[in-house]
Structure 1
Amino acid sequence: MPFGGTWRQTATTLFTLVALGMVACKPKPSSKDESDNEKGARDTAATEHAAATSATPSAGAGSPVVQDRRFLFAVNTKAPVTPQQIADAKSIIEKAAPGIAFVDDPGVGKTGISLIAPPPDQIEPPDENTIRYFGRGFDGSSAERARSMRGALGIGWNLDADPKLERLRAAQSSVKAFAEKMDGFIWDDATRELFTPAAFDSQRIAGWDSGYPDMRGQITIHYYENEGRHRAVTLGMEKFGAPDLVIQDVPISQSNRGSHVRNVAAQLIVEGASIGSNGELVLDLAAIKHAPTKAYYSGLDPSASHKTTIHLAAAKPEEGDAMNRLLEIRFPNGAGATEWERLAAAADALVGAPKDTPTAVAENDPELAAIKLRVQAKLPELAAAIQKGLPLGESISVKAPFDTDDGGVEWMWVSVTKWEGDTVHGVLDNAPAGIKSLKIGAPVTVKQSAIADYVRHKADDSLEGGESIKVLDRRSPITPR
Structure 2
Amino acid sequence: MPKLLHAPLFSAVLACFLSAFMAASAVAAPPGATPGEPVPAGSPVAAGPIHFQFAIYYPKRPAAEPLTSLRNRLAQISGSPKLVTAAPPPASLTEAIVLARWNTTTVQKDYRPPSTDLLQRFGRGLSREQAEALQRTEQALILDFAHPAPQARTALFKAIDVALQVARDGNGLLWDEETREVFTPDEWRKRRIDSWENGVPDVAMHTVIHAYRSDNLVRAITLGMSKLGLPDVVVSDFSWSSNRPMGNLVNVFAQAMVEGATIARAGQFDLDLRGLKHSGARDPQLRSLKPNAAPVAKLSLVNGKWESGDPQNRLFEIRFDRYKGPDRYAQQTALLTAIFGADEDAVTRLKHNDELLAASKAAGAQLAKLRDTFNKGLQPGEYILVKAPFTTREGGNEWMWVEIARWNGDTIEGLLKNEPVDVTGLHAGQMVKVSQAKLFDYIRRYPDGREEGNETGKIIGRQQGKK
TM over 0.5: yes
| Other structure's SS at 2:67 match | helix
Q: 1:162 to 1:90 in 2, by over 3 A?
A: farther
Contact 1:10 1:469 in 2 (8 A): no
Task: Write out per-residue CA displacement over residues 301-338 of structure 1, whole angstroms, 9 at most, x where no aligned residue.
Answer: 25411112112112232211111111111122212121
User: Secondary structure of the residue that 1:249 maps to in structure 2?
Assistant: strand
Residues 107-256 of structure 1 aligned to structure 2 (within 5 Å) = 109=90, 112-123=97-108, 124-163=112-151, 165-256=153-244
**Distance in 1 (alpha carbons) for counterparts of 2:439 and 2:319:** 33
1:313 matched to which residue of 2? 302
Name 1:86's counterpart in structure 2. 67
Shift of 1:118: 2.5
1:76 Cα deviation after fit? 1.7
Q: Give the distance between the partners of 1:432 and 1:141, measured in 2 at CA.
A: 53
How many Å apart are 1:177 and its aligned residue?
Answer: 2.4
Q: What amino acid maps onto 2:14 in structure 1?
A: T
How has the CA–CA distance of structure 1 residues 5 and 303 changed in structure 2, closer, same or farther, with 3 Å as cutoff?
closer
Task: Indicate the larger mover: 228-237 or 73-82.
Answer: 73-82
Question: Residues 76 and 464 from structure 1, CA distance in 2 versus in 1: closer, same or farther, beyond 3 angstroms?
Answer: farther
Q: Give 3-state SS (helix, strand or coil) of 1:165's partner.
A: helix
Change (3 A) 1:156 1:433: farther
Tell me by how many angstroms 1:251 deviates: 2.5
Residue-by-residue CA offset, 1:75-123 (whole Å, 9 max, x unaligned) = 2212366982221023224433535221233476255101122234433
Measure how far apart 1:453 and its partner are. 2.4
In structure 2, runs of 5+ residues without a counterpart are 25-33
1:335 counterpart residue number: 324
Q: What is the Cα-based RMSD across aligned positions, in Å?
A: 2.8
For 2:336, the equivalent position in structure 1 comes to 347
Distance 1:175 1:473 in 2: 55
- Structure 2 counterparts to residues 62-73 of structure 1, below 5 A: 62-66=42-46, 68-73=49-54
Report deviation, 1:145: 4.2
Normalised by the size of structure 1, how large is the TM-score? 0.84
| Aligned partner of 2:367 among 379, 385, 388 | 379
Paired letter, 2:286: S
Which sits farther off after the overlay, 359-368 or 279-288?
359-368
* Alignment size in residue pairs: 447
How far apart, CA to CA, are the structure 2 residues paired with 1:337 and 1:369? 33
1:441 aligned residue (429, 435, 445): 429
Q: Report the Cα offset of residue 166 of structure 1.
A: 1.5
CA distance in structure 1 between the partners assigned to 2:56 and 2:391 by the alignment: 58
* 3-state SS in 1 of match to 2:237: coil
Q: Which residue of 2 aligns with 1:412?
A: 400
In structure 2, the residue corresponding to 1:65 is in which secondary structure? Answer: coil
For residue 290 of structure 1, what is the amino acid of its counterpart? H
- The answer as to whether partners of 1:66 and 1:242 remain within 8 angstroms in 2 is yes
Distance 1:250 1:5, change over 3 A: closer
Q: Which has the larger displacement, 295-304 or 461-470?
A: 461-470
Q: For 1:328 and 1:239, locate their aligned partners in 2 and report how far apart those are by CA, in whole Å.
A: 18
1:225 is paired with a residue of what secondary structure? strand
Q: Distance in 1 between matches of 2:357 and 2:190?
A: 49
1:270-328: CA deviation from partner (whole Å, max 9, x where unpaired)? 11111133221110112111123222222222541111211211223221111111111
Contact residue 363 and residue 442 of structure 2 kept, 8 A: yes
CA change 1:325–1:402 in 2 (3 A) is: same
Change (3 A) 1:186 1:468: farther
The CA distance in 2 between the partners of 1:474 and 1:75, in whole Å, is 57
> Among 449, 455, 469, which residue is 2:443 paired with?
455
Q: Quote how far apart the aligned CAs of 1:426 are.
A: 0.8
SS in 2 for 1:117: strand
The Cα offsets for residues 204-225 of structure 1, whole Å up to 9 and x where unpaired, read as 2223223212222221111232
What amino acid is the match of 1:16?
Answer: L
Normalising to structure 2: TM-score of the pair? Answer: 0.86
Give yes or no for the alignment of 1:283 onto 2:295: no
1:103 aligns with 2:84: yes
Give how far 1:474 is off: 5.5
Contact 1:237 1:243 in 2 (8 A): yes
Structure 1 residues 359-368 or 272-281, which shifts more?
359-368
Equivalent residue number for residue 384 of structure 2: 396
Q: Are the structure 2 counterparts of residues 235 and 88 from structure 1 closer, same or farther at C-alpha, using a change threshold of 3 Å?
A: same
Specify the code of the residue in structure 1 equivalent to 2:351. Answer: E
The one-letter code matched in structure 2 to 1:25 is F
1:419 shift after superposition = 0.8
* 8 A Cα contact 1:210 1:289, kept in partner: no
**Cα offset for 1:159?**
1.0
Task: Give the CA deviation at 1:241.
Answer: 0.8
Distance 1:199 1:370, change over 3 A: farther
Inter-CA distance 377–96: structure 2 relative to 1 (3 Å threshold): farther
Whole-Å separation in 2 of the counterparts to 1:347 and 1:3: 31
CA change 1:453–1:120 in 2 (3 A) is farther
In structure 2, which of residues 38, 44, 47 is the aligned counterpart of residue 58 of structure 1?
38
Contact (CA 8 Å) 2:304, 2:316: kept in 1 or not?
yes
- Provide the C-alpha distance between the structure 2 equivalents of 1:411 and 1:356, rounded to a whole number of angstroms: 16
Cα distance, 1:341–1:368 mapped onto 2, change above 3 Å: same
Letter in 2 for 1:300: S
Deviation for aligned residue 1:57: 2.0
In the alignment, residue 67 of structure 2 is paired with which amino acid?
Answer: I
Look up the SS of the partner of 1:102 in the other structure.
strand
Alpha carbons 1:26, 1:225 under 8 Å: kept: no
Amino acid at match of 2:169: K
User: After alignment, is 330-339 or 384-393 more displaced?
Assistant: 384-393
Q: 1:447 Cα deviation (Å)? A: 1.1
The yes-or-no answer on 1:24 pairing with 2:5 is no
Please tell me whether the aligned partners of residues 37 and 302 of structure 2 are also in contact (alpha carbons under 8 angstroms): yes
* Greater Cα offset, 214-223 or 449-458: 449-458
Contact 1:8 1:411 in 2 (8 A): no
In 2, distance between residues paired with 1:199 and 1:290? Answer: 20
Is 1:326 aligned to 2:322, yes or no?
A: no
Q: Which moved more, 1:231-240 or 1:271-280?
A: 271-280
Displacement of 1:476 in angstroms is 6.8
TM-superposed deviation, 1:442: 0.7
